[in-house]
């Protein structure tokens, strides 16, 4: 049976970059990735099923068959360990704990705005994928053409909400879609155990990842 390390994290906390870093260990299969502006995009063995909002409740019915090649597959995931463990009972998890202080939550929101909203995609297919992720329906050729010409994701949000692309409107939408969802709310928070390694957002102690060496050897 194929072996997996799931990197579980909330949007904006840096899980794809961390997944690439972990996948470079000699007992892991390297993840394909590329950088666009300051963001890391990955192509994992499960086809991003655990990252897409559109597959939040159906991912476990769409899993491809993965053959064991003797090494661990590293998979970034917005699904929590408790959601994954029934489908992958012998897996290992690295969790980026969601921040608990208002200061760190504001820092997280600022990072999402700079690294997600004010960055773009290299082609129309990726821009359309971005729309699908935010559950936007492109219902005309004119809208599609405007999306193709959009300079960044913030402009796409404005287009799909029927608003002019201005800083004020971006702030309105960002507050509605991100700040209201992050400030005052909580995300993933776990404690270390025999199959989980936790890192704190804003203060990631990467030396804790050395424990992966021991855990992965024990579970081989």
Q: How far apart are CA 130 and CA 24, in angstroms?
A: 28
Q: 8 and 61: one domain?
A: yes
> Which of helix, strand or coil describes residue 91?
coil
Q: 125 and 160: one domain?
A: yes
Q: 12 and 108: one domain?
A: no
Dmax (CA) for the chain in angstroms is 56
Write the burial class of residue 145 (CB in 10 Å: 0-12 exposed, 13-18 middle, 19+ buried).
Answer: exposed
Q: 93 and 146: one domain?
A: no
**Vertex 160 angle, CA 156 and 161, to 5°:** 115
pTM of the entire predicted model: 0.90
Q: What domain range includes position 81?
A: 3-99+187-218
For 218, half-sphere exposure in the C-beta direction (CA atoms, 13 angstrom radius) is 10
Tens of pLDDT along the chain (220 residues) come to 899 999 999 999 999 999 999 999 999 999 998 887 778 889 999 999 999 988 889 999 999 999 999 999 999 999 999 999 999 998 999 999 999 998 999 999 999 999 899 998 889 999 999 998 888 999 999 999 999 999 999 999 999 999 999 999 999 999 998 988 777 677 999 999 999 999 999 888 999 999 999 888 776 6
CA-based nearest residue to 74, from 26, 139, 122, 109: 26
Q: How far is CA 118 from the centre of its chain?
A: 17
Q: How far apart are CA 103 and CA 154, in angstroms?
A: 24
Task: Please count the structural domains in the chain.
Answer: 2
């Amino acid at each position: 049976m194929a072996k997996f390390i799931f990197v579980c994290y909330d949007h904006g906390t840096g899980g794809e970059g961390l997944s690439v870093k972990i996948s470079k260990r000699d007992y892991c299969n390297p993840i394909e990735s590329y950088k666009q502006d300051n963001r890391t995009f990955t192509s994992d063995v499960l086809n991003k099923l655990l990252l897409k909002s559109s597959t939040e409740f159906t991912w476990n019915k769409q899993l491809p068959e993965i053959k064991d090649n003797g090494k661990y597959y590293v998979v970034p995931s917005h699904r929590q360990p408790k959601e994954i463990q029934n489908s992958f009972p012998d897996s290992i998890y690295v969790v980026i704990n969601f921040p608990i202080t208002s200061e760190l939550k504001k820092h997280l929101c600022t990072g999402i705005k700079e690294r997600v909203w004010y960055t773009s995609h290299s082609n129309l297919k990726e821009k359309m994928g971005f729309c699908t992720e935010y559950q936007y329906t492109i219902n005309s050729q004119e809208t599609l053409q405007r999306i193709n010409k959009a300079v960044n994701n913030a402009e796409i949000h404005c287009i799909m909400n029927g608003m002019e692309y201005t800083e004020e409107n971006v702030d309105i939408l960002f507050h509605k879609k991100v700040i209201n969802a992050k400030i005052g709310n909580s995300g993933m928070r776990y404690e270390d155990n025999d199959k989980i390694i936790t890192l704190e957002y804003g203060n990631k102690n990467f030396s804790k990842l050395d424990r992966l060496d021991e855990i992965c050897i024990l579970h081989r």
